Chains A and B, each alone.
Chain A
Amino acid sequence: MKKLLTGNEAVAQGAWEAGVTYASAYPGTPGTEILENIAEFKADIIAEWAPNEKVALETAIGASIIGARSLSAMKMVGVNVAADPLFSLAYSGVNGGMVLVSADDPGCHSSQNEQDNRNYAKFAKIAMVEPSDSQEAKDMVKTALEISEQFDTPVLMRITTRICHSKSIVEVGPRQEVAKKIYVRNVQKYDLVPATARKRRVAVEERMKKLMAFTETTELNRIEWNDKKIGIVTSGVSYQYAQEVFGVAASYLKLGFTYPLPIEKIRSFAAEVETLYVIEELDPYLEEQIKAAGISCVGKEKIPMIGELTPDIVSIALTGEQIPFVAPDLSLVVGRPPLLCAGCPHRGFFYELSKIKNLMVTGDIGCYSLGGNEPLNAKDTCICMGASVSMGHGVQKILDRIGDPTRTVAVIGDSTFFHSGMTSLLHVAYNRSNTVTCIMDNRITGMTGHQENPGTGFTLQGMPTKAADIPSIVHALGIEAVRVVNPLDLKEVREALTWALSLDEPSVIITRWPCVLKKHSEQDRTEFGNYQGKCRVDETKCIGCKMCIKTGCPALRFDKSVKKVGIDTAQCVGCKVCLQVCPVKAISKVGE
């Protein structure tokens, strides 16, 4: 049967068909939907959200060593978090086949950098596959698991945004059950104390030799002969762009198995063509290895290494041709940055925070990273998951040392706190800085599209579970000054911030209110009630001061012609944040 699937859906389908029985991930764009789709196969696969990528990979390693086929998926920066177990896994090898899917984001659509994770395969000395469309994504999960078991290696499957989020036609099949392998205690393989590690180090190089022979013969690396004036070595989605631009005017060496590279196959392909192009996104990963083998080629001297490729970027770089297009009048276009939604529980908190002087606000990864934008402007930094809390500590320690009265406020979400904020807060408690850590608990993982997390009370596959209690965790880490506030109540937020900033000890403010887009659970309904409604502006009272506009709510608009504010009732949910900032009480909630 044929289905139109995204790359993420295809990976999930491939995992199911290939007999995977354990999968774990932490959500991250562009790879979030891999586990969400695997989770649908409840009868056959245990699918779990882990608190972070390191835990996700380690649980999959455990499942593999005990004998099951397993998969772990994460966005590219997640692999940094999971790098510690990954590099040792390269030494221990696997028992049941194991795939690590790295979803890279060239162009930083939803990321803080655009690292090229193909480098991880080379760095960790493990096998790598790169699909070019959804069919290959599905098929390569199975092939990767077979390679994993045959060569005793984890296999990195590297995909990118345009593979993850592009739909193409896939022939789907049935599940093939794979019996769990027998686990036999083997400390010489799985117990990587130094004496074992030194021996396994040798095994890694022996495995590499076998993989180098395999890569020369596997059908994953295939030649398509056409005109021989131009030969193109490419992989991943770049193959599609190369085909789009050159069609039958070039021959292709399409690489699906990209670590180790089939250097001899590339050499003989290069010998038959007049000019060899290497078309790849981001780093000159293929090019450097090809050039190091003494094969001349044209790559990054023409093709950009920054940002995503597109067919026309490839075309302009290599043929110099820009096809005609309709020129827009950009003076008629205003930017459209993403905004905190109308009714977002983060808005009121950031509004109050933005009014406090002499503050440095360290931010984190999540919707609340938008708190740094106009008009709230209440954030100074964003580096990586969990960094708000630890960076805030570093900032405060130096400020204190030089006698600067500026205070630091760290802002982190619930899921990000579980991910890696807890260890940072432990550092704050242990090393005593008087930073104010604000945990914005919106009862869900918001930015990636509403995934359950350890605090929500449900697992990925919908089972009710023990909900982690943030105040108890914070107390247990050694923070005594803790307040939980309703972020829609500006007075409560203001008082909590004033209180926290008056203390000479580390403090935590927890804002607890569900994401406005969240589908409420039974517990949410009991705790938060049905608060939604509409606000309205009394135009006879509105003085056009625009105080409410400064909250940055997309449901509020200022009509210049009459100098009054109006509310878009399609967007307004009646959170009442604007109502609280209006100096003349011109805004009210309908029915109250």
Chain B
Amino acid sequence: MSDVKSILMVGVGGQGTILAGKILSMGLMAAGYDVKMSEVHGMAQRGGSVSNQVRFGSKVFSPIIGKGHADILVAFETMEAMRWLEYLKPNGKVVVNDYQIPSGPILIGNCDYPEHLLDELKKKADTTVIQAGEIAAKIGNTRTMNLVLLGALVKGMQLTHIDFEAEIERNVKPATLPLNLTAFRFGMDAVK
């Protein structure tokens, strides 16, 4: 039986899912795992739905997963959690950011942002809601939301023994390092 774990991070272009995935993957590699990470570029900068998959274990083959394969789904935006939910294993975990970014059809008034998403997610899967927007704002920069969610993910996947802080240091600008480290730690604390 394969020991490979699969992580799916989803969000909206510009939310920093790719950087979070990079830090996660580099930390896992440094810890001795075989790692593959997959991302789709192209339209990402223009506010489209984006996903980033990280798989690790003793030997990883496929860089991407299909329906029912994710051990954890981390959604940087609330509605994206529901969009990608079918990729989750029945006993998998959802970490969802209580943060809404209206998409094009909502902005132009063709439809409303869906209601009761968090309640419906909780009914369907083991769901932890993170107020990453609030936490990041409190720290002083909403752009650190991705590091808050990375912290939550690391705790949720029980990967706290790996030195991700060293990878954060390697991947962010020195000036933003203290903020990013605080965001990461707050994210870990947000998951029980």
B68–A241 CB distance below 8 A: no
Which listed residue (A328, A330, A337, A560) contacts B109, Cβ 8 A?
A560
A168–B35 CB distance below 8 A: yes
B45–A168 CB distance below 8 A: no
Q: Is A340 an interface residue (CB 8 A)?
A: yes
Kindly list chain A residues whose C-beta atoms are within 8 Å of the C-beta of B103. Answer: 334-337
B65–A311 CB distance below 8 A: yes
Q: Is A240 an interface residue (CB 8 A)?
A: yes
Kindly list chain B residues whose C-beta atoms are within 8 Å of the C-beta of A237. Answer: 62-63
Binds B, one of A158-166, A264-272, A491-499: A158-166
Q: Is A232 an interface residue (CB 8 A)?
A: no
Q: Is B31 an interface residue (CB 8 A)?
A: no
B38–A162 CB distance below 8 A: yes
Contact string, B84-98, partner A, CB cutoff 8 A, digits 1/0? Answer: 111111101000000
Q: Is A367 an interface residue (CB 8 A)?
A: yes
A110–B25 CB distance below 8 A: no
How distant is B190 from chain A, measured CB to nearest CB, in Å?
22
Chain B stretch 58-117: residues in CB contact (< 8 A) with chain A: 60-69, 79-80, 82-90, 92, 102-114, 116-117
Question: In the bound complex, how far is the Cα of B44 from the Cα of A449, in angstroms?
Answer: 10
Q: Is A43 an interface residue (CB 8 A)?
A: no
Which listed residue (B37, B40, B60) contacts A161, Cβ 8 A?
B40
Q: Is A373 an interface residue (CB 8 A)?
A: yes
B124–A326 CB distance below 8 A: yes
A326–B38 CB distance below 8 A: no
Which listed residue (B34, B46, B79, B102) contacts A338, Cβ 8 A?
B46
Q: Is B175 an interface residue (CB 8 A)?
A: no
Q: In the complex where A336-B47, A549-B107 touch, is A169 in contact with B62 (Cβ < 8 A)?
A: no
A334–B114 CB distance below 8 A: yes
Q: In the complex where A166-B36, A167-B25 touch, is A324 in contact with B42 (Cβ < 8 A)?
A: no
B120–A169 CB distance below 8 A: no
A328–B42 CB distance below 8 A: no
B46–A339 CB distance below 8 A: yes
How distant is B84 from chain A, measured CB to nearest CB, in Å?
8
Q: Is A546 an interface residue (CB 8 A)?
A: yes
B109–A558 CB distance below 8 A: yes
Q: Is A486 an interface residue (CB 8 A)?
A: no
Question: In the bound complex, how far is the Cα of B36 from the Cα of A315, in angstroms?
Answer: 20
A341–B45 CB distance below 8 A: yes
- A-B pair count, CB < 8 Å, reads 192
Which listed residue (B41, B64, B83, B120) contacts A310, Cβ 8 A?
B64
B104–A165 CB distance below 8 A: no
B83–A328 CB distance below 8 A: yes
Question: In the bound complex, how far is the Cα of B60 from the Cα of A82, in angstroms?
Answer: 36
Nearest A residue to B43, CB-CB: A338
B47–A311 CB distance below 8 A: no
Q: In the complex where A328-B83, A333-B82 touch, is A370 in contact with B46 (Cβ < 8 A)?
A: yes
How distant is B175 from chain A, measured CB to nearest CB, in Å?
18
Q: Is A313 an interface residue (CB 8 A)?
A: yes
Question: In the bound complex, how far is the Cα of B113 from the Cα of A117, in angstroms?
Answer: 41
A517–B45 CB distance below 8 A: yes
Kindly list chain A residues whose C-beta atoms are within 8 Å of the C-beta of B2. Answer: 247
Most-contacted residue by chain A among B66, B67, B68, B103 (CB, 10 A) = B66
Chain A stretch 230-260: residues in CB contact (< 8 A) with chain B: 237, 240-241, 243-244, 247
* Count of chain A residues near B, Cβ 8 A: 64
Q: Is B39 an interface residue (CB 8 A)?
A: yes
A326–B92 CB distance below 8 A: yes
Q: In the complex where A339-B47, A341-B46 touch, is A311 in contact with B66 (Cβ < 8 A)?
A: yes
Nearest A residue to B12, CB-CB: A336
Question: In the bound complex, how far is the Cα of B120 from the Cα of A93, in angstroms?
Answer: 62
Kindly list chain B residues whose C-beta atoms are within 8 Å of the C-beta of A185. Answer: none
Chain A stretch 456-477: residues in CB contact (< 8 A) with chain B: none
Q: In the complex where A4-B26, A110-B41 touch, is A337 in contact with B104 (Cβ < 8 A)?
A: yes
Kindly list chain A residues whose C-beta atoms are within 8 Å of the C-beta of B85. Answer: 326-328
Question: In the bound complex, how far is the Cα of B8 from the Cα of A328, in angstroms?
Answer: 15
Kindly list chain A residues whose C-beta atoms are within 8 Å of the C-beta of B120. Answer: 329, 332
B82–A29 CB distance below 8 A: no
Kindly list chain B residues whose C-beta atoms are within 8 Å of the C-beta of A370. Answer: 46
A325–B46 CB distance below 8 A: no
Kindly list chain B residues whose C-beta atoms are within 8 Å of the C-beta of A161. Answer: 40
Q: In the complex where A333-B79, A341-B46 touch, is A549 in contact with B108 (Cβ < 8 A)?
A: yes
B42–A30 CB distance below 8 A: yes
Question: In the bound complex, how far is the Cα of B85 from the Cα of A119, in angstroms?
Answer: 37
Which listed residue (B60, B106, B125) contacts A326, Cβ 8 A?
B125
How distant is B19 from chain A, measured CB to nearest CB, in Å?
13
Kindly list chain A residues whose C-beta atoms are within 8 Å of the C-beta of B66. Answer: 310-313, 315
Question: In the bound complex, how far is the Cα of B169 from the Cα of A564, in angstroms?
Answer: 44
Question: In the bound complex, how far is the Cα of B3 from the Cα of A236, in angstroms?
Answer: 24
Question: In the bound complex, how far is the Cα of B142 from the Cα of A241, in angstroms?
Answer: 38
B42–A110 CB distance below 8 A: yes
Nearest B residue to A551, CB-CB: B108
Chain A stretch 1-15: residues in CB contact (< 8 A) with chain B: 2, 4
Q: In the complex where A169-B35, A332-B79, A556-B107 touch, is A244 in contact with B41 (Cβ < 8 A)?
A: no
Nearest A residue to B84, CB-CB: A328
Q: In the complex where A325-B87, A328-B83, A332-B116 touch, is A110 in contact with B29 (Cβ < 8 A)?
A: no
Kindly list chain A residues whose C-beta atoms are within 8 Å of the C-beta of B107. Answer: 549, 552, 554, 556-558
What 6 pairs between A and B have smallest CB-CB spacing?
A312-B66, A325-B68, A110-B42, A166-B63, A338-B46, A328-B85
A sample of 16 more A-B contacts (CB under 8 A), given A325-B88, A329-B82, is: A4-B26, A167-B25, A169-B34, A313-B66, A327-B124, A328-B85, A332-B114, A333-B83, A333-B114, A336-B49, A338-B13, A338-B47, A339-B47, A339-B104, A373-B104, A374-B105
Offer 18 A-B interface pairs, CB within 8 angstroms, sorted by A: A4-B29, A29-B41, A110-B42, A110-B43, A162-B64, A241-B62, A243-B61, A311-B65, A326-B90, A328-B83, A333-B114, A334-B111, A335-B105, A339-B48, A367-B46, A370-B46, A374-B104, A552-B104
